Amino acid sequence: MDLTAPTLDEIEQIARDTVETLPETFRDAARAVSLRVVEFPPDDVLEDMEAGPFDISGLYDGVPLTQKSVMDVPSGPDTVWLFRRALLDEWAERGNVTFTDLVAHVTVHEFAHHFGWSDDDIAAIDQWWD
C-alpha cells in the first residue's frame, strides 16, 4: 500500500481530468482557464479572506463569464487555484471520500464561479451531494 501523499503534479492531473469530464459545452472554455496547484494560498489571499492556511482548499481568481464585457481590460488570466495542504487536511478529516473525488468536487466548485453556475447547475454536473 502506497501511503505517500499526492504531489502537486498528481493533484493537477486529477483537476485536468475533471475538466475533461465537464459537459462538452463548457470544456473548451474551462481548458482556457489557468490551473495552479500550490501548497498553500498566498498570504495576500489569506489576509483578504481573513482565513488560515488550511481553511481554503480552492479558489477562483478572475471575472466570471457572466460578468465579462468585451470592454474589460484583463488584469490577468482567469485562474483556478487548488491548495494541496488544505485538500489533504479536508480529505483526512472527512474520511468518507476518495482524494480524487474531493479534488474533483473542489475543481468543479471553482469552475462554477468562472461559469456563473447556480447551485442547481453545480448539482447537475457534480454528484457530490447525492
Please tell me which residue, 119 or 16, carries the higher pLDDT value. Answer: 16
Least confident of 11-15, 45-49, 106-110, 125-129: 125-129
Determine the Cα–Cα distance for residues 3 and 6; give it in Å rounded to an integer: 9
9, 19 Cβ separation under 8 angstroms? no
Domain boundaries, the chain: 8-65+76-129
DSSP H helical ranges for the chain: 8-21, 24-31, 43-49, 84-94, 99-115, 119-125
Beta carbons of 101 and 58 less than 8 angstroms apart: no
Distance of alpha carbon 115 from alpha carbon 46, whole angstroms: 24
Read off the pLDDT of residues 31-90 as tens digits, 9 standing for 90 and up: 999 999 999 999 999 999 999 999 999 999 987 777 776 666 667 789 999 999 999 999
Does the domain at 8-65+76-129 match CATH 3.30.2010.20? Answer given as yes
